[in-house]
Amino acid sequence: MSSKITKQDLNKVFRRYLALNALNDYPGQMHNGYTFSMIPIIKKVYKDKEQQVAAMKRHMEYFNITPNIAGFALGISAAMEEKNAEDPEFNEDNINAVKTALMGPLSAIGDTLFPATLRILATSIVIGMASDGNVFAPILFLLLYNIPNFLARYYSLHYGYNMGADFLVKVEKSGIMDKASYVCSVVGLMAIGAMVAFTVKVTTPITIGDAKAGGLVLQKSLDSIMPKMLSLIVVGIVYWLLSKKVKIVPLLIGTLVVGAILFALGIIG
């Protein structure tokens, strides 16, 4: 596959990628920073203005990943955008499908390596110096954390692009792109289902009769049918409201108000 993207283009992405988390918002998390990082690639591979706008809108979809190794996803996206520009039959939906599939696995690795390990290790090394009033303690902390951080960002971006290009050539020959897209969709739905189960906490204290005397405890009955049923129902309602173009802020306020009312009435716990 002939490559229009050069090392200099990837370096432009790298410099923008440093601001990946600077425009984080609730609906899309890092989508602004991701699109901002991809602009040099989009403008390089697409000459038509409408194609550029379509590509930028495509990357404004929800994205959230450990920033330190998000370069891997950016590199693969760059390779896929390049392929999309060259091949009219390329399915552009696969670009976001691959991004979605990468979020969970890469975040698991990145969160373990950087916030949970490197940051704590760097803090433990300099905390004694800081307590003694050594002015070099914060400087040493920044160096210990950010040298690996910058290296990980740089090499994950370049490696992601090189792997992405090779990956696309191989799957094009083997014809497994549709299967890969299907697997990505399944993984994405599994991740969403897991997040619903672990992060959305909705229960009901309603009991019919005396629980000690064998009365019906509604929450136990619901759990016996399907655990986390109420959480799933709440998420389903929110999803339906979002599909009806209800804005995020009114939806959040409405959820808080309805939740407070239902709690006061003893309907939810």
Mean pLDDT by 10 residues, the chain (269 residues): 78 93 86 94 92 94 91 92 88 86 80 82 85 90 93 92 69 61 65 75 84 77 88 90 89 92 89
pLDDT value, residue 183: 67
pLDDT value, residue 1: 42
pLDDT value, residue 184: 58
Torsion of CA 208, 214, 218, 220, to 10 degrees: 170
pLDDT value, residue 58: 93
Q: Which two tokens stand for residue 142?
A: 């920044």
Q: Residues 96-120: pLDDT tens digits?
A: 888 888 887 788 778 878 887 888 8
Q: Do 92 and 58 touch, CB atoms closer than 8 A?
A: yes
Helix H or strand E segment including 41: helix 31-45
Residue-range domain boundaries for the chain: 7-195, 201-264
Using a cut of 0.85, tell me whether the model's pTM lies above it. no
